[in-house]
Structure formats: C-alpha cells, structure tokens
Amino acid sequence: MGLTMWRWSAGVAVACAAVACALLPFPPADDAGRWIPAIPAPLAAEVQRLTGDLRRTQDAVRAYRSQIGLARWRSAAAESDRMSIRLDQSVPARLVGTVKTIVAEQWAALGPATSRNAEVFIYVDSTTIPRAATAAGSRRPVEPRGLVDVSFALPAATDGARCVALVRLRGTSEAHVAALRQQSVVGVCGFFAAFGLPGEGVRAWLTSTDYGVARRSDWHVAIAPAFDPFAIYTLGDEAGRCLTGEPKACRDVLRLEDPEPNHTGDRSPAASVLFHATSAGGPGRSRSTLGTAETEVLMTAVREFGVERFGQFWRASARPDAAFLAATGVPLDAWMRRWLARTYGDVPTRPGVQARDVLWLGLALPALLIAGARPRERVLAERLFSRPGGA
C-alpha cells in the first residue's frame, strides 16, 4: 500500500499533537532564569513610597512658588494695562518694554474678543529652596534647573473674576528673556481671555476634570500634520473603549455622568492653581485618561467650530453635553470619538469574507483533494517516465 497524501498529513498531525501534549501546559516561569531578577516585595514597597514622597515634594514646591506669585500679584501697586499685563516692581526698567512686547504678541493672537477676565503677571524671583547641607557646606536646590516658570491661578484663587498667569523669571539676563520669548504664557487663561468666564454647567465640568482638556489655548498656531503611532499606548481604558465605538465609554472618559460639585467654596485656592502643561501636573492631579494630547481637546474644538460657536458652548449654563450639541450641532461623545480617531489613529476594520473568496476556495479545494488522493508511487512514476529516455 502506497503512502498517500492523506496518510502523510495524518501522520504529521498525530506527531504535532503528541509534541503539544508533551509540552503543554508550559512549566511555571522560573525567576532564576530571568535576565532581570524580580524586586523583593519590601524593596518594591520602599521604591513606591519614595516615588510618592518625591512627587509630593515637587507639588509642595510648585504650590509654594505659586502662592508667592499670588501674594506679589495682590500687592502689586501698578494696575494692568489694556492688554492685561501686570509687571512686578522686581522687573528691571530696562526689561519692561521687551517683556511687555513678548507677552502682548501672545495675548493679541487670541483675537479681538480678549476680555478682562484674564491677566499675565510677571515677576523676578531668583531665590532657591535648599535640599540639604552637603559635606562641603554647599546646599543643593530642590527645584529643577530652569529659566522661566509658569503657573495659572484660576478665578477661585484670585479675585473670582480673573485667571492669572503667574510668570516667574529666575533672572534678568538675555538668556532669561530669550526663554520667555519661547515660553507660552497663555495656557488655560487664554480661554478666559477670549471667551470670558465659563457658564455654570461648563465650569462645574471643567472643575471636576481639573481643567485637563483646557490647558492649551494656542488654537491660532498652525500645526503640521504629524502622527505618533506610539501615543495610543498612553490612553486609558475608558478612552480605548471609546475609540472602539462604545458610546458609554465616551461619556465616562469625559466624566459627563459625575455629579456636579457645589460652588460654595469647595475648591480650595491651592487646588485652583494649575501648573504649566510641560510640568508633572499639580496637587491631586490624576493620571490622564485621554493620553498625551488631553490638553488639546478644547483647543481643537475652537479650531474646528470657530470662535463664535465655541464661545456659545463656553458661556452656556447647561450641562456640557447639551451645551455642546446646541452650539455645534454635534453630540459631545460622538465628537470625542472622532477626536480620538484623528489624534491617535482609528481602529482598523476587521477584514470581511467576500463572495469571490468563497467561490475561489470552493473551486480550489476539490482540486487539492483530488491531487492529494493520488498515490505517491504513481506521481513518481509519471515524473520518471515523462523524462526523455525514460523506460
């Protein structure tokens, strides 16, 4: 009896099944065979505690600097000019004109709707916070090196009507002025400058989300088309489900179902100070669920729908989803799904089975079965006798 294709295939399948039964289930992983040994549990706990202490220290330093800036802002004798720029007396006279010009260029780019609900306050503070005394007697600073620091005080931390950008110059050299020229000093206060105070419903929503979607307001700056394929891995679980088309997840990622907080002073002044987008968040800042581009959400909405329609949404007293639908004609959760797809890339569609594929498979399968059923000896004989000079 010859070895047919069916018997050969069956033998291969039986051998593969035997190998699978011998190897499965896989043996448990051995920590000794790892390239990097596992961290002991006590050490991992101490590393986590140290990381938390460092984060809290940085938050405390930033909050301390912001409170110093607010104290100087309140005690500044000079009133802000028509461009909502206020300078502290610590700014040298030789830099007043240059500093005002730099800030006025960014402030004017917001458009003619600039209101009195936002202000930029610039002061000079070169003091350092020491870390600890070293053996040589020198004292290392706690703060990271830098030339300019920017934080944003919301109206709850100022006078109730103005968002103040606190710009701290760590020196008065040409390098500090050049750093200020490259630094964005508008931030979240740009929305207050262009659209005024937010309505009750929008304000409650932004407060519950720590203004995470409104920390950038440079909608006037053209952005080159670019796509980072690895940015999608920074999305949270809810944003990932929203990207795949789950409507409830789109509402959850925007926290539209959260109860509205009361507005009777439940948000402390310290929690109403937002740090610059390039820094590591702020006190109580939760991990972003919208990825690295979370701060650009409302900025993108201004670009897409225009200043007038976005202003209607910003000043609306209704809930944010109802206000967004009334101003733009687009549901907020649906637009959120579209924003995620444009920013991080849409989910590829699964390939479907077409009729022509089924037809070709139906025609090819019988031919393969007929060819496989022929005895191996017959195939070899036909090849042998088909050669020139074969017997």
CA 140/CA 308 separation, integer angstroms: 50
Q: Under 8 Å CB-to-CB from 84, ≥6 apart: which residues?
A: 107, 114, 116, 118, 119, 120, 193
Q: Match 């109206």 to its residue by tokens.
A: 155
Q: What is the mean predicted confidence (pLDDT) over 265-291?
A: 57
CA 242/CA 246 separation, integer angstroms: 5
Q: Kindly indicate the confidence band of residue 302, based on its pLDDT and cuts at 50, 70 and 90.
A: very high
Would you call 276 exposed, middle or buried from its count of C-beta atoms within 10 A (0-12, 13-18, 19+)? buried
pLDDT at 121 over 90: yes
Asked if residue 291 lies in contact with residue 234, where contact means CB atoms within 8 angstroms, the answer is yes
pLDDT at 167 over 90: yes
Share of the chain above pLDDT 70, in %: 66
The pLDDT score that the predictor gives to residue 164 is: 92
Which residue, 149, 158, 155, is CA-closest to 124?
Answer: 149
Angle at which helix 5-23 crosses helix 355-373, to 10 degrees, equals 110
CA 125/CA 166 separation, integer angstroms: 12
Residue type, 103: V
- The domain segmentation of the chain, as residue ranges, is 54-128+144-186, 198-221+229-349
The pLDDT score that the predictor gives to residue 284 is: 39
CA 65/CA 144 separation, integer angstroms: 13
Which phi and psi (to 5°) does residue 139 adopt?
-125, 120
| Structure-block tokens of residue 352 | 């479907």
Q: Kindly indicate the confidence band of residue 132, based on its pLDDT and cuts at 50, 70 and 90.
A: low
Asked if residue 90 lies in contact with residue 96, where contact means CB atoms within 8 angstroms, the answer is no
Asked if residue 173 lies in contact with residue 124, where contact means CB atoms within 8 angstroms, the answer is no
181 or 389, which is more confident: 181
The pLDDT score that the predictor gives to residue 355 is: 67
The pLDDT score that the predictor gives to residue 282 is: 42
pLDDT at 174 over 90: yes
The pLDDT score that the predictor gives to residue 61 is: 87
Q: What is the mean predicted confidence (pLDDT) over 8-18?
A: 69
Q: What would the pLDDT profile of 44-74 be if each residue is shown by its tens digit? A: 888 889 888 888 888 888 888 889 999 999 8
The pLDDT score that the predictor gives to residue 113 is: 57
Q: Kindly indicate the confidence band of residue 8, based on its pLDDT and cuts at 50, 70 and 90.
A: low
Q: Under 8 Å CB-to-CB from 82, ≥6 apart: which residues?
A: none
CA atoms within 13 A on the CB side of 203: 19
Which residue, 213, 197, 195, is CA-closest to 205?
Answer: 213
Q: What is the mean predicted confidence (pLDDT) over 78-89?
A: 69
User: First vs last Cα of the chain: how many Å apart?
Assistant: 23
| Structure-block tokens of residue 287 | 């991990």
Which residue, 246, 217, 216, 250, is CA-closest to 321?
Answer: 250
Residue 235: strand pairing partners: 290
Q: Kindly indicate the confidence band of residue 280, based on its pLDDT and cuts at 50, 70 and 90.
A: very low
CA 324/CA 321 separation, integer angstroms: 5
The pLDDT score that the predictor gives to residue 124 is: 94
CA 368/CA 366 separation, integer angstroms: 5
Helix or strand (DSSP H, E) at 99? helix 93-108
Which residue, 196, 62, 183, is CA-closest to 122?
Answer: 183
CA 120/CA 163 separation, integer angstroms: 9
Q: Kindly indicate the confidence band of residue 34, based on its pLDDT and cuts at 50, 70 and 90.
A: low
pLDDT-wise least confident of 64-78, 201-215, 247-261, 290-304? 247-261
Asked if residue 151 lies in contact with residue 166, where contact means CB atoms within 8 angstroms, the answer is yes
Q: Match 């991080």 to its residue by tokens.
A: 344
pLDDT-wise least confident of 94-108, 111-125, 148-162, 250-264? 250-264
213 backbone φψ class: left, alpha, beta (φ>0; ψ -120 to 50): alpha
The pLDDT score that the predictor gives to residue 230 is: 74
